[in-house]
Structure 1
Amino acid sequence: MLDVCPSCRIQAPHRQGRQLCPRCGGPLTLLDDHGRIVAPRPTAPAPTPQPGRARPRPAPSRPLLRWTADRPAGARPAPTPPRPPVTARRPSYRGVPRWGLLDSPVVPEADEPRSGDSGTAMTRTFSLVWYTLVAAAVVHLIRYLVAVVNRSTPIPMWIDLLSGAAVLVFGTFAFAGMLLGLVALVRWLTAIRAHAYAEADLYDPRPRRQQLLLAGLPLVNVVGAPLLLSEAARCGSDSAGAADRIRRIAIAWGLVNGVALIALAYRIGGWFSDSVQVHADGLAMVTLSFAVSAVFTRWASPRLSTVLTGLVGDHDRERRLVVA
């Protein structure tokens, strides 16, 4: 039998003479082994309320017992068998393992400019531009030789038409190639500048639109592009060596643009003149301009890619030791 307190819901084996709950002081109820009330205990007299104190609230009625369901013995899952001990051999290597000794390169975000990709694209574009400039220079030289021979000896009409058409076609190809080279140069310049300031953890003071104008406008970029490169070179430790390389490329680029301006002036003068000599001089200057531009493209292509070496080039990958 059990002594059960209906107020605080505690139970204990029955003991003769125990009528009040030791926790709350309420009356106990005697239950048999099947949970039936054997005999209710006499209710303890309610305490007399003292003046100035609130009357105690009656305890809420709660169920006498709470039954918990459990699976029968036949429906219980079988105990999990113990895991067998691990007897596998530890891996061994005949030589020092190479995996894990080199840190994997950090892949930039998709929207960030990558100087390596733009530098490779610029080198390939400059190679294409070099071929178009060389072809245009050769065709213009042939056209000049035809004009020189024509001064003393008549030439067939088809040679004159063929040389004139070749000058027009290859000149157009060379102009398109120079535009592509300018676009590749602008992309590389903005990318390498952004990379340089990011490596130095600095904020680029020039907005993107200003960089595009300084690097993309003809004749303006003769001064603007070296200026942008010089500002990016100051972010690295080898700023003096980079400034010297940038100065040599800028001087050569200025000479190429000067020859191109002279050739353009001769060409425009030939449009308003009937002199054969003026036309011949203009053709010779255009040929010289194409040849100088081709030489400069071939010379500057590898030097532009390494003009900021040590600043945004391939960094030495960090090495770490691991437990073999």
Structure 2
Amino acid sequence: MLDVCPSCRIQAPHREGRELCPRCGRRLMVLDAQGRVVQRPQSGAARGASAPRTSVARAGLRWVADRPAEARPAPVTVRAHEWTPTPSYRYIPRWGLSDRGPISPGENPEPADPGDVLLRALRMATSMLGAAAVVHLIRYVIAAVNRSTPIPMWLDLLSGAAVLVFGVFAFVAMLVALVAFVRWLLPARAAAYRAADRRDPRPARVVLALAAVPLANVVGVPLLLSEAALCGDAPAPAIGRIKHLGTAWAIVNLVALIAVCYRIGSWFSDSVQVSANALALVTFSLAVSAVFAHWVGPRLVTVLTGPVGSSASGRRLVAA
């Protein structure tokens, strides 16, 4: 049963001897389990109070619904974190950020990576060779127009000077790229032999001659790279990459050699058509060289170790 105050509408389990509401002082009434008012005699203390209400409409009560026990959700239990092994690598990852930090005044800065220097030199060579190819193409168009239409003297002198200046720039850029390549090849070859706990069988001057002498390096560089690749555990993929690079290098040198020989031969010829053909061939050779310098950069610095993203050194996502 319940003790209910019809004025405050508060209710509490029935207790014998409790007849007045502790909040407003009104007389309490008792309801049974079916919500019916139970009549009980008034006590002497309650007679002096205000007139009691013997019945209250059931609409005055506010019932609160609750779920049965079988429909309530199960309590949430927090499981302990399951142990997982710490990610590890069998090789040094080549991706990520390097925190070099500030260099103190008394500390010597770290030397530049030969691979990065080689990439910058090849990018510069790509730009210079491409610019020289464009200038030679403009010179060829001017020469073709001049066969039927006279051109101003200043335009002829300006195009000739541009061909000379950009040709010199392209030649210097190729020399810088060659020096950067030799400076990358020597430590890369030494590191390959050192990792295999072996000594380089070739003297440094022989390696330098095979890598730096033009035309001779067409054969010498693939040979030097192949010897370094054979020191690794899996030389077959590296040998395949070296063959691709060597073939492309040989084709570029062959085109350049034909263009230079044809250009020199045009100097001893009085034919305008021969000079125009030589100019077109030089333009084609410069364009091919620029494309090769752009293509070979990222492949050359990883020819011995494999490109980033291969099966040997792929990127992995780990939980933070």
**TM tier, shorter chain?**
0.5 to 0.7
- More moved, 183-192 vs 136-145: 183-192
> Shift of the alpha carbon at 1:271?
1.1
* Percentage of identical aligned residues: 62
| Alignment-derived partner of residue 113 in structure 2 | 117
> Shift of the alpha carbon at 1:187?
0.9
The answer to whether residue 293 in structure 2 is matched with residue 297 in structure 1 is: yes
The answer to whether residue 248 in structure 2 is matched with residue 252 in structure 1 is: yes
Deviations 1:150-207 (A, max 9, x none): 0011111111011000000000000000000110111111110001001111010000
| Alignment-derived partner of residue 155 in structure 2 | 159
> Counterparts of 2:306 and 2:170 in 1: how far apart (Å)?
34
Deviations 1:195-220 (A, max 9, x none): 10011110100000000000000000
What letter corresponds to residue 128 of structure 1 in structure 2?
A: M
What letter corresponds to residue 225 of structure 2 in structure 1?
A: L
> Counterparts of 2:154 and 2:235 in 1: how far apart (Å)?
58
| Alignment-derived partner of residue 148 in structure 1 | 144
- Secondary structure (helix, strand or coil) at the match of 1:184 reads helix
| Alignment-derived partner of residue 168 in structure 2 | 172
Which of these residues, 222, 227, 230, is aligned with residue 234 of structure 1? 230
> Shift of the alpha carbon at 1:134?
0.4
Which of these residues, 252, 275, 299, is aligned with residue 271 of structure 2? 275
Count of aligned positions? 212
- Secondary structure (helix, strand or coil) at the match of 1:288 reads helix
> Counterparts of 2:181 and 2:146 in 1: how far apart (Å)?
41
Which of these residues, 178, 188, 191, is aligned with residue 182 of structure 1? 178
After superposing on structure 2, the runs of 4+ consecutive aligned residues of structure 1 that deviate more than 2 Å are none
> Counterparts of 1:140 and 1:226 in 2: how far apart (Å)?
31
Deviations 1:124-149 (A, max 9, x none): 11001100000000000000000000
Which of these residues, 129, 132, 135, is aligned with residue 133 of structure 1? 129
| Alignment of structure 1 residues 29-44 onto 2, 5 Å | none
Q: Is the 8 A contact 1:238 1:310 kept in 2?
A: no
> Counterparts of 1:241 and 1:272 in 2: how far apart (Å)?
48
> Shift of the alpha carbon at 1:238?
2.1
> Residues 248, 116 of structure 1: CA spacing in aligned structure 2 closer, same or farther, 3 A cutoff?
farther
> Residues 151, 310 of structure 1: CA spacing in aligned structure 2 closer, same or farther, 3 A cutoff?
closer
What letter corresponds to residue 262 of structure 1 in structure 2?
A: I
Q: TM-score, normalised by structure 2?
A: 0.61
| Alignment of structure 1 residues 18-37 onto 2, 5 Å | none
Q: Is the 8 A contact 1:147 1:280 kept in 2?
A: yes
Which of these residues, 271, 280, 283, is aligned with residue 284 of structure 1? 280
- Secondary structure (helix, strand or coil) at the match of 1:243 reads helix
Deviations 1:55-106 (A, max 9, x none): xxxxxxxxxxxxxxxxxxxxxxxxxxxxxxxxxxxxxxxxxxxxxx99xx9x
> Counterparts of 1:270 and 1:263 in 2: how far apart (Å)?
10
> Counterparts of 1:237 and 1:153 in 2: how far apart (Å)?
66
> Shift of the alpha carbon at 1:306?
1.1
> Shift of the alpha carbon at 1:237?
1.5
Q: Is the 8 A contact 2:121 2:180 kept in 1?
A: yes
| Alignment of structure 1 residues 32-111 onto 2, 5 Å | none
> Shift of the alpha carbon at 1:115?
11
Q: Does 1 or 2 have the higher relative contact order (CA < 8 Å, sep 6+)?
A: 1
Unaligned runs of 5+ in 1: 1-100, 106-113, 317-324
Q: TM-score, normalised by structure 1?
A: 0.61
> Counterparts of 2:111 and 2:301 in 1: how far apart (Å)?
10
Deviations 1:17-54 (A, max 9, x none): xxxxxxxxxxxxxxxxxxxxxxxxxxxxxxxxxxxxxx
| Alignment-derived partner of residue 211 in structure 2 | 215
Q: Is the 8 A contact 2:238 2:306 kept in 1?
A: no
RMSD after superposition: 3.1
Deviations 1:226-247 (A, max 9, x none): 0000000001122000000000
Deviations 1:99-124 (A, max 9, x none): xx99xx9xxxxxxxx99811111001
> Residues 224, 115 of structure 1: CA spacing in aligned structure 2 closer, same or farther, 3 A cutoff?
farther
What letter corresponds to residue 130 of structure 2 in structure 1?
A: V
Q: Is the 8 A contact 1:233 1:242 kept in 2?
A: yes
| Alignment-derived partner of residue 22 in structure 1 | none
| Alignment-derived partner of residue 201 in structure 1 | 197
- Secondary structure (helix, strand or coil) at the match of 2:113 reads helix
What letter corresponds to residue 241 of structure 1 in structure 2?
A: P
> Counterparts of 2:146 and 2:137 in 1: how far apart (Å)?
14
- Secondary structure (helix, strand or coil) at the match of 1:188 reads helix
> Residues 256, 237 of structure 1: CA spacing in aligned structure 2 closer, same or farther, 3 A cutoff?
same
What letter corresponds to residue 306 of structure 1 in structure 2?
A: T
